[in-house]
């Protein structure tokens, strides 16, 4: 990166596994203290132990990002532990649909929107309050999806939630740029995560066919490739990048 995160504090949601875990490890490797957040407390603890065993600083927080009180407490936990907040990556998300919009159960739609969209809204709300109170800037990176540009079949709620994440990102980026707070999004393509593997298994998809269809490189992306993008957007190397949706997708959207 060419930019150190020494002395900085990062918060990463959905950090028990997959992209969030990789982002947490990457921040810690560059010197940041990390609040590792997930509804899976045991998974968050495992990520934290990986960081501390390598000499880094991290604590875990078990948090349901759709719960306003829990999210407020999450930000407070970062400040109580490390004294401040500099960077946040809002990654927590779910998927699970298997049919067209008319067949979605209302409770499933509500659950996806609550975590993927309301969760990002709540995280940003309380992260921004802390960053504004500190008065010296900071960054937020939200994880959207290539679905926001090119929907996949039978994922109406997930696609709607990720469109919403881009809308929140761009609006807040405009509203807070003058305060020195840079807000951007990453739109991952087909990244090799437990969530992707589970989705393929549920839908009976062949991994090789899926990788060829969803990437110009003919392979799945690695979680470390997303982590490098998140660190770049959080670093001074991207100091003139605001309200941007960074596709890390192996060329999928360029096709």
Annotated catalytic sites, by residue?
158
Neighbouring CB atoms inside 10 A of 255's CB total 11
* CA–CA dist 106, 232 (Å, integer): 38
Residue closest to 22 by CA, chosen among 245, 222, 244, 250: 222
């Amino acid at each position: 990166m060419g930019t150190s995160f020494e002395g900085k504090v990062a918060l990463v949601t959905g950090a028990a596994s997959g992209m969030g875990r990789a982002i947490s490890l990457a921040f810690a490797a560059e010197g940041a203290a990390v609040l590792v957040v997930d509804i899976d407390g045991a998974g968050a603890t495992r990520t934290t132990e990986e960081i501390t065993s390598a000499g880094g600083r991290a604590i875990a927080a078990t948090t349901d990002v759709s719960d306003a009180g829990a999210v407020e407490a999450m930000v407070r936990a970062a400040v109580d532990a490390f004294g401040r907040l500099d960077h946040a990556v809002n990654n927590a998300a779910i998927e699970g649909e298997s049919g067209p919009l008319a067949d979605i159960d209302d409770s499933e739609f509500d659950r996806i929107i609550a975590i993927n969209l309301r969760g990002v809204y709540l995280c940003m709300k309380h992260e921004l309050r802390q960053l504004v109170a500190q008065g010296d800037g900071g960054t937020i990176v939200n994880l959207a999806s290539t679905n926001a540009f090119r929907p996949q079949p039978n994922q109406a709620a997930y696609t709607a939630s990720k469109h919403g994440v881009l809308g929140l990102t761009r609006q807040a980026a405009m509203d807070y740029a003058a305060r020195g707070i840079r807000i951007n999004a990453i739109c991952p393509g087909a990244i090799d995560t437990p969530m992707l593997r589970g989705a393929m298994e549920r839908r009976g998809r062949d991994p090789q066919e899926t990788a060829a269809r969803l990437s110009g490189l003919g392979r799945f992306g690695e979680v470390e490739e997303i982590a490098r993008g998140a660190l770049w957007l959080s670093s001074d190397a991207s100091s003139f990048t605001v309200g941007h949706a960074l596709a890390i997708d192996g060329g999928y959207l360029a096709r």
